[in-house]
Amino acid sequence: MDKSSLLTDLTDQSKETKHYPCKIGRLINSLEGDEREALVKAIELIRTSNLNGKNRSHSSVWLAKVLRKNGYQISVSTIQRHVNKECSCDQSEG
């Protein structure tokens, strides 16, 4: 069983990564209600503050710290990739 799924994963890349969200995407999916909204909002704020370079209170470093404090081990670079829409989540969004 394991062998055949390993073979599939190794040989059929299109199946593997397509709609598989990154850590942030999976975290968003796992949250509900206000928490989910707040996280989505925070990511938007980081995105816009990255763009205009003004409001640096919301940064990937800040979010990583907040998440770590709450038991989510997600690296700054993972957050940045999600903020910059360079992660795997974005392909399923639009």
22: its two tokens: 């990154």
Residue 63 CB, nearest approach to Zn ion (Å): 13
Residue 82 CB, nearest approach to Zn ion (Å): 4
Contact residues toward Zn ion (CB under 5 A) are 22, 24-25, 82, 87, 89
Are the C-beta atoms of residues 63 and 46 closer than 8 Å to each other? yes
User: Phi, psi at residue 23, to the nearest 5°?
Assistant: -55, -40
Toward Zn ion, which CB reaches closer, 17 or 55? Answer: 17
Residue 26 CB, nearest approach to Zn ion (Å): 8
* Residue 75: its H or E element: none
75: its two tokens: 């690296």
SS3 of residue 89 by DSSP: coil
